[in-house]
Chains A and B, each alone.
Chain A
């Protein structure tokens, strides 16, 4: 255990990287999820088809495979494009950007289903009532749709967030110095890999426990006014 304590600052740096990746990618995934849900619900043909292909592909291909394609393949495409267009010279995708883009992109598909499900749970009559009261679209969204969208989406969002947090461990494979990467290095240096990885597991448990607690509180706040049996 002393060896882990010796590496505490190193591990803490890793924890911060893990949290940064998780938060940056959850923001992207919420944006993509709202867009995707809009695409599926709009009834328009092209956005609907794009959203459908998007969620099907993500469900079909494992996260690490996508991450490697984006990290290595994306770099090649960007450089080929730069060469053809002459707009930019050699660029290197940094693993942070690749990790965040991939995780955001993957969970955007799951968020699409989250928001779509939440939106269709809002009773139509309430939106019609808003129209009948003469509310503008923006006002209906702000006062009627959004509060309930959050309410219905939160349980599934919580679930997605917990899975996303664990998925961030994969960025260590593309060389990003997150918690797992630093622990691996520490474990090798001190020849105590078990101690280090066990510490990592405990830190992940702590992170999931904290976020679970926080999101449950948020859920309670947004469920004010719901009668429970």
Chain B
């Protein structure tokens, strides 16, 4: 394994890293914003939207992301109407197709994660909000969503990592993401390990960072769920150390 080769081609890997991080971060951000209303429609059994959203999440959670991306990138060109529409500028581009596929995919998963968390809201909290005279919308905004987002945090952390893992399929449609950069380096110098191993290391570093971030977020926002340590001052404003795992 020739490490010098990897450092000589650092610009490829930087491009790859930027593309991967951008694709995943933008997809997660859009997906999160979209999934809040969709999950409310599911949890509150909206007569029209609940079945529609159910069908949507069932379809995108039950099929491989790779094929969803192929359907968008290779498939849409089958229709002349698409090729002649104004959207073709976006849809013929692999990067945008990957982004659209990732958004559709992560929205489906996040919607179901949030739905589960909404449905797990302790009924007492809702009753208390009603007793305090909150309107249904205020209840959702002030009581249900804050506790839902906390409860969804661990599952959402997993979804972020799975989205990062899933994003490698972008390299199969010519996007230069981290794996794509590895493939280019391999092809350019006719080597096998250098590109793939460097890609693996970069992904592992990202996953490690995400895991640390969510550990921190959980410690901060789920502090009230941690077992109280004996001898710790109750109600003190100093943060308690993390519970032993």
Instruction: Report if B12 contacts A (CB, 8 A).
Output: no
CB distance from A169 to the nearest CB of B (A): 4
In contact, A69 and B196 (Cβ under 8 angstroms): yes
Q: How far is the CA of A194 from the CA of B182 in the complex (A)?
A: 29
Most chain A CB within a 10 A radius of its CB, from B76, B78, B182: B78
In contact, A197 and B75 (Cβ under 8 angstroms): yes
Q: How far is the CA of A169 from the CA of B71 in the complex (A)?
A: 13
Instruction: Report if B174 contacts A (CB, 8 A).
Output: no
Q: How far is the CA of A59 from the CA of B207 in the complex (A)?
A: 8
A residues 158-189 near B (Cβ < 8 Å) are 162, 166-170, 172-173, 180, 184, 187
Residues on B facing A (Cβ under 8 Å): 58-59, 62-68, 70-71, 74-79, 161, 164-169, 171-172, 179, 182, 192-193, 196-197, 199-200, 203-204, 207-208, 211
7 more A-B residue pairs beyond the given contacts A62-B166, A64-B168, A195-B78, with a C-beta to C-beta distance below 8 A: A61-B204, A65-B200, A69-B200, A76-B193, A169-B66, A201-B59, A208-B62
Residues on A facing B (Cβ under 8 Å): 57, 59-66, 68-69, 72-73, 76, 162, 166-170, 172-173, 180, 184, 187, 191-198, 200-201, 204-205, 208-209
Q: How far is the CA of A57 from the CA of B200 in the complex (A)?
A: 9
Secondary structure type dominating chain B contacts: helix
In contact, B169 and A197 (Cβ under 8 angstroms): no
Q: How far is the CA of A73 from the CA of B182 in the complex (A)?
A: 13
Total A-B residue pairs with C-beta atoms closer than 8 Å? 113
CB distance from A216 to the nearest CB of B (A): 15
Known interface pairs A64-B168, A187-B75, A194-B78; A73-B66 also in contact (CB < 8 Å): no
Q: How far is the CA of A210 from the CA of B163 in the complex (A)?
A: 26
Q: Name 23 interchain pairs, CB-CB below 8 A, sorted by A.
A: A59-B207, A60-B204, A62-B164, A62-B165, A62-B167, A62-B203, A63-B165, A64-B168, A64-B172, A68-B196, A69-B197, A69-B200, A72-B192, A72-B196, A170-B66, A172-B66, A193-B78, A194-B75, A195-B78, A197-B67, A197-B74, A204-B63, A205-B58
Known interface pairs A73-B192, A193-B78; A61-B62 also in contact (CB < 8 Å): no
Q: How far is the CA of A170 from the CA of B182 in the complex (A)?
A: 17
Contact partners of A63 in chain B: CB under 8 A: 165, 168
In contact, A194 and B71 (Cβ under 8 angstroms): yes
CB distance from B195 to the nearest CB of A (A): 9
Q: How far is the CA of A136 from the CA of B67 in the complex (A)?
A: 51
Contact partners of B71 in chain A: CB under 8 A: 194, 197-198, 201
Contact partners of B193 in chain A: CB under 8 A: 69, 73, 76
